[in-house]
Amino acid sequence: MSQDLAQPMAWKKTKVIVIGAGFGGICMGVQLKRAGIEDFRILERAEEIGGIWHHNTYPGCGCDVPSHLYCLSFEPYVDNMVRYPGQPEILAYLQRVVKKYGLRKHLVTNAAAKTAVYNESSARWTVTTVDGREYRADVIVSAVGQLDKPQIPQFPGAETFQGAAFHTAQWDHDCDLSGRKVAVIGNGSSAAQLLPHVAEKAGHVDVYQRTPNWVIPKPREEFGPLTQAAFKHFPVLQSLYRKEIYLAADLLLTPVIRQGWTHWPIKQLARWHLHHQVIDPDLRARLTPDHAIGCKRITVDSRYLPTFNRENVSLVTEKISRLTPSGIVTESEDGGFHERAADVIIYATGFHASEFLVPMDVLGRRGRNLQQEWAEGAEAYLGIALPGFPNFYLVHGPNTILGHNSNIFMIENQVRFIMRCLQHMPATLEVRSQAMESYRSWMDEAVSKTVWHGCSSWYRNPETGRVTNPWPASTMRYWMLTRLQVLRLSAAFDIKRRS
Ligand code: NAP
């Protein structure tokens, strides 16, 4: 007799701890609720939900994935008349979802998980927060994200700088930039979004660029009146539009990461964009990347490059040597030093993306330490589970993040997979080492075909060079793999039933 018949819906009594209340944790919470599982908590280290969309509040912050796609598939934005969602809209969207699905009562804020320890005899996990609270659960789902730890380079003399200095993910809203000399260090997607806004206010802006990025144009933020009317009167068009942008991204952008058929036209588009947006040829030359397109995340922005035409914006490409009380000293190629004054330094220098789950300590079966297992670089079966850590799942795990489509699509696939695993409860589910090994071989092969080894980026572990963050194939491939593997779950997972 199947366990479900013997104990109808026994799995719905599973006690779950979700760590993180960003998009991933909220999606997990929604699906637990939809499945009728009520015994769960979502622990969030911040004082509010939202994850990166709570922490990143810099001017111009938003998502360059259209809102029709950057949302849960079953929960569109209420007002989808803006093509690209800004940070306030995304945060409001997440708050609405939390309210609609009754997640508030499951939420524990200001609860940073410090340790998660598996007890083999009880087959349960204990999560302890930094302030000593303990939570026990049958299942842990870590949804802490990959871009949660701001990286601030340790420049010599940084402690002597007398002005304001902050990271893009820790924006100081009390710092008035009006008329001031601002230094923006870094030129990734965050810098691109904030620069036009900063340049409008500041007296002068120096952009410190170490490596130029490929930038492609972003379509208009607003839909035209005709499209708005069509979307309003025929809502089905909105779901067709979602499918269209999903397919276009998968079919056109996936080949770019493998230098496939679309990389050349997209590179030409980026070149054309630069040519038409920046007037000065010398400046254009300094803004032209020499690495393969797709090696780093492509910037999608139409306002960034023209900002360099402004009188009050300078591009600085000399290496930063040190900071002084009043500015930044750079070193030129001929060994000369030059100090540029700054009142404010904005670190748009990215995140410690390869430090998955740090600073949490996760101890699995027989005391296996997750961080030690990941010493060469993080990895997980489908980015979701790993041997030695029964009933421990990841959302936003290793090799699952995207630069070429919507991360929410990936999250939904991970959550669907985890929900199917939960249907085996009460049980211990653990990925077999063999399954992990063959997945690792597949992943290594897939990654070896990408351009990601050709430049330095946050996609790679800085110590070992292993590509640990992005998914190396189409998202349809991920959809297929997660669907197929869940159908043959017992082939990949050791499933021990418990009464
Ligand atoms: P990032 O892409 O990692 O860019 C960091 C920048 O800082 C790079 O230009 C890097 O130069 C520079 N940098 C780092 N350390 C430096 C040092 N010691 N000296 C000089 N320059 C240094 O960070 P981000 O812009 O915050 O973006 C992170 C990710 O967030 C993106 O890749 C994207 O996935 C996501 N994001 C998405 C959106 C969106 O619209 N969907 C918007 C913003 C961010 P090098 O290139 O030389 O290393």
Report the distance separating Cα 117 and Cα 144, nearest Å: 17
In 209-307, the DSSP E strands lie at 215-216, 299-300
Report the distance separating Cα 184 and Cα 344, nearest Å: 9
Q: Which of 352, 357, 355, 342 minimizes the C-alpha distance to 389?
A: 357
Q: Is the peptide bond before 150 cis (omega within 30 degrees of 0)?
A: no
438 Cα: distance to centroid of ligand 1 (angstroms): 32
Which residue has the least CA distance to atom 36 on ligand 1?
189
Which residue has the least CA distance to atom 33 on ligand 1?
189
341 Cα: distance to centroid of ligand 1 (angstroms): 23
Which residue has the least CA distance to atom 39 on ligand 1?
63
209 Cα: distance to centroid of ligand 1 (angstroms): 11
Best of 64, 297, 345, 349 for a ligand 1 pocket test (most atoms within 8 Å of beta carbon): 349
One DSSP character per residue, 313-348 reads EEEE-SEEEEEETTEEEEE-TTS-EEEEE-SEEEE-
| Domain 3-149+352-497 and domain 158-347 have a common topology | yes
pLDDT for 4 equals 44
Q: Which helix (H) or strand (E) holds 172?
A: none
User: Hey, where are the domains in the chain?
Assistant: 3-149+352-497, 158-347
189 Cα: distance to centroid of ligand 1 (angstroms): 6
- Residues with CB under 6 Å of ligand 1 are 63-65, 147, 153, 168, 185-191, 193, 208, 210-211, 297, 320, 348-350, 403, 456, 458
3-state secondary structure of 7: coil
Report the distance separating Cα 458 and Cα 443, nearest Å: 18
Q: Are strands 181-185 and 164-167 parallel, antiparallel or unpaired?
A: unpaired
Instruction: Check pLDDT > 80 for residue 80.
Output: no
pLDDT for 9 equals 82
Report the distance separating Cα 139 and Cα 253, nearest Å: 36
CATH superfamily of 158-347: FAD/NAD(P)-binding domain (3.50.50.60)
What average pLDDT does the chain have?
95
pLDDT for 41 equals 98
188 Cα: distance to centroid of ligand 1 (angstroms): 4
Q: Which helix (H) or strand (E) holds 57?
A: none
- The 10s digit of each residue's pLDDT in 162-211 is 999 999 999 999 999 999 999 999 999 999 999 999 999 999 999 999 99
288 Cα: distance to centroid of ligand 1 (angstroms): 17
One DSSP character per residue, 350-361 reads -B-TTSTTTT-E
Ligand 1, residue 458: give the atom nearest the CA: 3
- The 10s digit of each residue's pLDDT in 214-249 is 999 999 888 889 999 999 899 899 999 999 999 999
Instruction: Check pLDDT > 80 for residue 424.
Output: yes
Q: CA 462, 465, 471 angle in degrees (round to 5)?
A: 100
Report the distance separating Cα 152 and Cα 136, nearest Å: 35
Q: Which of 281, 310, 335, 299 minimizes the C-alpha distance to 206?
A: 310
Does residue 205 contact residue 195 with C-beta atoms inside 8 Å? yes
In this prediction, residue 6 has a pLDDT band, given cuts at 50, 70 and 90, of very low
Ligand 1, residue 401: give the atom nearest the CA: 34
- The 10s digit of each residue's pLDDT in 187-201 is 999 999 999 999 999
pLDDT for 2 equals 42
pLDDT for 81 equals 76
Percent of the chain with pLDDT over 70: 98
What CATH number should be reported for the domain whose range is 3-149+352-497? 3.50.50.60
φ, ψ of residue 124 in degrees (nearest 5): -130, 160
Neighbours of 464 (CB within 10 A): 12
In this prediction, residue 7 has a pLDDT band, given cuts at 50, 70 and 90, of low
Any bridge partners for residue 119, and if so which? 124
Q: According to DSSP H, which parts of 323-374 are helical?
A: 370-373
Which residue has the least CA distance to atom 17 on ligand 1?
153
Any bridge partners for residue 117, and if so which? 126, 363
Ligand 1, residue 84: give the atom nearest the CA: 40
In this prediction, residue 482 has a pLDDT band, given cuts at 50, 70 and 90, of very high
347 Cα: distance to centroid of ligand 1 (angstroms): 10
pLDDT for 3 equals 43
Instruction: Check pLDDT > 50 for residue 91.
Output: yes
Q: CA 420, 423, 428 angle in degrees (round to 5)?
A: 100
In this prediction, residue 295 has a pLDDT band, given cuts at 50, 70 and 90, of very high
Instruction: Check pLDDT > 50 for residue 312.
Output: yes
Ligand 1, residue 192: give the atom nearest the CA: 25
Percent of the chain with pLDDT over 90: 92
pLDDT for 144 equals 97
Q: Which of 457, 392, 454, 463 minimizes the C-alpha distance to 428?
A: 392
229 Cα: distance to centroid of ligand 1 (angstroms): 37
Ligand 1, residue 211: give the atom nearest the CA: 47
455 Cα: distance to centroid of ligand 1 (angstroms): 13
- The 10s digit of each residue's pLDDT in 256-283 is 999 999 999 999 999 999 999 999 999 9
pLDDT for 485 equals 85
- Which pair of structure tokens corresponds to residue 258? 């493998």
pLDDT for 5 equals 45
Instruction: Check pLDDT > 60 for residue 1.
Output: no
pLDDT for 460 equals 96
Region 22-32: mean pLDDT is 98
Helix, strand, coil percentages in the chain from 3-state DSSP, rounded to 5: 35, 20, 45
459 Cα: distance to centroid of ligand 1 (angstroms): 11
pLDDT for 8 equals 54
